Structure 1
Amino acid sequence: MSAGSTISSVETLGHLMSHVSSRYAERVMVEEADGRQFSFSQAEELVERLSNGVAKEVLPGQRVVINLANGYDLFFACLGVARAGAVAVPLSDQLTKVEVERIIEECDPALVVSSLDQIYGDLGEPEIHIDKHSTAAIFYTSGTTGRPKGVELSHKALLDRLNLMGVIGLVGPQSAAFGLPLSHLMGFIFALSMAMAGYRVYFFPKFDPKAVLDIIEQKRPQIFAGVPAMYRLLLEAGAESRRLNSINVWYSSADAMPTDLARKFQDFGSALSFGYASSFGSAAFIEGYGMVELGGAVATRMFPSMPFKSAAIPAGFRELLDNAGIGIPFGGAELKVSDANGSEVAPGTVGELWVKNEGSLKGYFKDKSATDAILANDGWVRTGDLARRGPFGTVYFVGRAKDVIKSGGYSVYAREVEAVLEDHPDVAEASVLGLEDPKLGEVPVAAVRLMPKSKIGVAEIVSWCQDNLAHYKVPRQIKIVAILPRTDTAKVKRDQLRELFEPEK
């Protein structure tokens, strides 16, 4: 392998598999939970066949809906569509029939793929070369803030920040495990990055915490990626008693990661392992901040790997790491905390986080009003996230603007109340929302899921809140639930929780 080929860039999704196959060839690219495997060269051949099948039905630039179950077939279909010069529209297999029909009507696709057999073609046709600034795919948002919207992302947006992953391939064969939906951007980007690095991936179409722990123990991957809810489920499934020391890097995104949970998993992993029984130090834990509209993560908060466990970190250094905010911008992203007019607010003042980034959305598909609402004229994206500036230019995430509860003239941040609830040793996770109130406008209420075998009651949780929160932040109603309803990206569906609570009188 020449140095030039090592760092050469991939400019379009359609070129990805020929590029990585030339480097990694017979390495295993993916092993799914049912044991099915693809080497890089086998995956390249499949993508070429799918591309040629698509090209017989679709013109460059037309849209192709990929309506397949979660798995690498969906990923390869997207790459095949891109190789044919068309635009992939991957759909979640968790959508209802009505939701699928609405998206298909909105997209007006030239083709809807419900089986790879539909687009399985011959070998031999070259890929269609298209501009890297053209739309590569349309990813639909998870719909937690209203009806899902189609986010148009270019080839450049999806690939530019990943090209350095090719350098990682120099260290030799490594492996990773994850079980994210590939129809959503976090899972898709992680699959792309692992392909660029030449990693073998152990993939779970449906996240199963016990199966994931088994694979980590048996197959010894070096990286795991998931959302915070998955880490909670791994902990509840017995992660503490498993041998997870092969993991050198834990990665999380899509929601705020509790610091104490990140520290636990740091210590489950290691800085370096020598086989099953011997290892030392703690793993790195990386938390990404981003959203679909930004083309993925634009900032990272890192808990670095240490030659000792996290409990031994000096107090001053621990405080510095724990107060790093959402992390360090990368890939040329710029962050500012703004008022409604785009002017930066004073340090310590809560404002909306705006991001300028070359990987941001081109727009929402067929939704000019929503596009105008999120994109400022000068290229800044209004994220809808509330944040504040701290010392040394750090940025702290406060919560979603839509999750601010206006109660009697006070602003109650749902994420702050959730963090206090989750600090209770018997509370596994919590979701806080605002309920209409005739006197105060809104009041906070909470749904909580308890740790296994916990017998704690509502009165004890209320008392905990009263000891740790100002009176106006204490939830007026608390419901203990067995599960919190979630999207397939593990975000809580707050609207479904609302029906649990009685209107305030």
Structure 2
Amino acid sequence: MFRDALIDALTAGGARVAVLDETAACSYAELDAWSSSLADSLRPLVRTPEDCAALLLPNGGSWLAAYLAAHKAGTAVAPMNAVLTEHEIVRVLEHVRPRALLTSPERSDDIKALCAGRRLPVDVIVVMPGPGRHVVRGPRGAAGTAKTRADTGRVADAPCMIMHTSGSTGVCRPVIQTEQALHLATGFWRGRHRNSDDVVAVPIPLAHTYGHLAAISTLLAGATLLTSSRAFEPAWWLEQLVARDVTVIEAVPTVYRRLLEAAGQRWRPAALRRCLSAGQQTPADLRRDWHRRTGVELLQSWGMTELAGAGLGPTADSCRDSAGIPVPGLEVRVIDPQAPGRPVPAGTVGELWVRGSQVTPGYRTGSGQLAPVTDDDGWLRTGDLVVRDGHECVRIVGRSKDTIMTGGYSVQPAEIEDVLRTHPGVEDAAVIARPDRRRGEVPHAVIVPRHHSRPDAEELLSHCRGLLARYKVPRSIDFAERLPLSVTGKLDRGALRGRYGAPEQEDTPHVVG
């Protein structure tokens, strides 16, 4: 299914360019050989179908080679965002318990020390940059016999990917994505949005579900992927979009807005034919501005890590102002949030429920067991509030959960709150979303100081930066004597949003960007 289709695409690609990054171009044949060499070192470490290999690599050829190597070795792949801190990496490793971790030479010593210090039995495999240099084997790795197909013995509903999200408690949630789910998701995206002669720009992390979907559907089509290991630099991407004759862009709304802000009035990439957005709602003004400047519509979609990709996709003109219609094989219901199980009429706000083969069988627990995410009838409650019209187009209008969507990333307030509470000057903390023109939303922290002595805001942010990825760090801080509670004694986030949820004025002294 998915694995064999991917390996077939590598074989068929031959000398065509598979991936372009800021360092080099890598052909399909080179990527095939590179990943096979890595797979040789990985195979001896794979003992059971439940084993997995973690990836901690920046975007680029190295990431793809390591990813493909894991699939060739027949093990599940657990990508980690390269910007995660040691604190976050440990949480992932303790939940997933991978047999091996593939990483860059620059990070290998730190990762080995981290695993040794935490007594995690993980073999670290160093992925050398460039297809000609291949691999430095891990401490117990040994070369195996090269294979041109994925190792057999796996079934359609076996774990193929483990992508990470956060639950409402802030605990790391490793989401199982099956071979069948990935086959359906990437196959649909390839068929709907790819031609073999496309050059596809993906300026988002490949370890993100949307970035993965965009990148792998590109390889399946035999097209060329343009990506970068560097932090997003609008000027570099604007230059590359023209110089590389990019035909498709896949990005979150924040990226599109920053490209428009940085582009001169004469900028217009002539080859561009399709622009797709996901990860958060795409504001109407951004879609209008992008279309006016480029002549290409900015199409919206909606998906979840729990679906291995898109759940709603753009189609006919009637759906241009929505996230689209359900992808093939996915059932959708819009349910009254106050009466679970009761559908609402078209045009009425309700919670989106989904069911189908794409839906994850569950979250992987630290003990290796699965925690189901659906009800007894197979329905997944997404927590998203939507309106469905008479054409079956679904428009996202909000969320019933407390997730903060910032620049395409999902951030759970509880994770940030736990980190803030570890600071000696913090008695309690709460985090809510604030509107932000560039990122959609950003985290805002409300702090109850310990012993009525207000800690320095910059010190608190520095504390967060040491333990959290940059996109999770609060962009501003307020201080309060106490946090509002509901009648049942729980944190009243509604009251917090009412008091602190508005964007700050630029001259407000306690705003920290």
**TM-score, scaled relative to structure 1:** 0.71
How far 1:16 moved relative to its partner? Answer: 4.1
Contact 2:16 2:27 in 1 (8 A): yes
Number of residue-to-residue matches in the alignment: 403
> 1:190-240 deviations in whole A, cap 9, x for unaligned?
111100111112212232111110001212110111101111111221254
Equivalents in 2 of 1:301, 1:165: separation in Å?
A: 11
Instruction: Say which structure, 1 or 2, has more relative contact order (CA 8 Å, 6+ apart).
Output: 2
1:58 match: 46
Query: Structure 1 residues 254, 371: closer, same or farther in 2, change over 3 A?
Result: farther
Q: Helix, strand or coil for the counterpart of 1:95? A: coil
Separation (CA, whole Å) in 1 of partners of 2:193 and 2:346: 41
CA deviation profile, 1:405-447 (whole Å, cap 9, x unmatched): 9xxxxxxxx99x94xx85xxxx886558797557984415346
Amino acid at match of 1:375: T
Note if 1:360 corresponds to 2:373: no
Give the equivalent residue in structure 1 for 2:277: 252
Measure the CA separation in 1 of the matches of 2:258 and 2:166. 21
Aligned pair in 2 of structure 1 residues 97, 88: CA closer, same or farther (>3 Å)? same
2-structure distance, mates of 1:149, 1:239: 42
Q: Following the alignment from structure 1 to structure 2, what is the Cα–Cα distance between the partners of residues 150 and 121?
A: 30
Mapping of residues 76-475 of structure 1, within 5 Å: 76-114=65-103, 115-116=126-127, 117-119=135-137, 121=143, 124-126=146-148, 127-129=150-152, 130-141=154-165, 146-163=170-187, 173-206=197-230, 207-238=232-263, 240-269=265-294, 282-301=295-314, 324-338=321-335, 339=337, 341-366=340-365, 374-403=373-402, 418=435, 431=442, 437=484, 441-442=495-496, 443-446=498-501, 448=503
Query: Unaligned stretches of 5+ in structure 2?
Result: 104-125, 128-134, 405-431, 447-482, 487-493
* TM-superposed deviation, 1:252: 0.8
Please tell me whether the aligned partners of residues 94 and 366 of structure 2 are also in contact (alpha carbons under 8 angstroms). Answer: no
Q: Which amino acid aligns with 2:201?
A: A
- Contact 1:284–1:303 (CA under 8 A) maintained in structure 2: no
Relative to structure 1, is the Cα distance of residues 284 and 118 closer, same or farther in structure 2, using a 3 angstrom cutoff? same
The verdict on how the C-alpha distance between 1:134 and 1:225 changes in structure 2, with shifts beyond 3 A counting, is: same
Q: Deviation of residue 181 (structure 1)?
A: 0.9
Q: What is residue 463 of structure 1 aligned with on the other side?
A: none
- Select 1:42's aligned residue among 22, 27, 30: 30
Counting aligned pairs with the same residue, the percent is 24
Counterpart contact for 1:175–1:223, Cα < 8 Å? yes
1:39-79 per-position Cα deviation (integer Å, ceiling 9, x unaligned)? 11111111222222111222242122222233332232122
Separation of aligned partners in 1, 2:194 and 2:101: 39
> 1:445 is matched by which residue type in structure 2?
Y
After superposition, the Cα gap between the structure-2 partners of 1:104 and 1:164, relative to the gap in structure 1 and judged at 3 Å, is closer
CA contact (8 A) 1:161 1:331 kept: no
Q: Secondary structure at the match of 2:45?
A: coil
Matched, 1:12 2:6: no
Residue 330 to residue 357, structure 1, CA distance change in 2 (3 Å):
same
1:354 Cα deviation from its structure 2 partner: 0.6
1:354 and 1:138 map into 2 onto residues whose CA distance is 22
Deviation of the 1:348 alpha carbon:
4.3
Q: Quick check: 218-227 or 95-104, which moved more? A: 95-104
1:218 & 1:167 partners in 2: Cα distance?
26
Query: Where does residue 475 of structure 1 map in the other structure?
Result: none
1:431–1:180 distance in 2 versus 1, CA, 3 Å: closer
Between 1:339-348 and 1:97-106, the stretch displaced more is 339-348
Deviation at 1:353, TM superposition (A): 1.0
Could you tell which deviates more after superposition, 210-219 or 372-381? 372-381
Shift of 1:379: 1.3
SS where residue 256 of structure 1 aligns? coil
Deviations 1:156-204 (A, max 9, x none): 1112233366668996522111221111211111111100111112212
Q: 2:275 and 2:222 mapped to 1: Cα distance?
A: 18
CA distance in 1, matches of 2:334, 2:181: 23
**Structure 1 gap ranges (5+):** 1-10, 270-281, 305-319, 406-413, 450-455, 459-477, 484-505
Q: CA deviation at 1:356?
A: 1.2
Distance 1:356 1:235 in 2: 37
CA 375–113 in structure 1, closer or farther in 2 if over 3 Å, else same: same
- SS of structure 1 residue aligned to 2:15: coil
User: How far did residue 261 of structure 1 move?
Assistant: 0.9
Displacement of 1:298: 1.2
* Alpha-carbon distance in structure 1 between the residues aligned to 2:316 and 2:265: 19
Rounded to whole Å, the distance in 2 between the matches of 1:239 and 1:428 is: 21
Residues 107-133 of structure 1 deviation map (CA, whole Å, 9 limit, x = unaligned)? 222222232224594663353122232
SS state at 2:98 partner: coil
Give the residue type in structure 2 aligned to 1:124.
A
Q: Matches of 2:193 and 2:316 in 1, distance apart?
A: 23
Please tell me the root mean square deviation across aligned C-alpha atoms, in Å.
3.5
- 3-state secondary structure, aligned to 1:244: coil
Contact 1:210 1:237 in 2 (8 A): yes
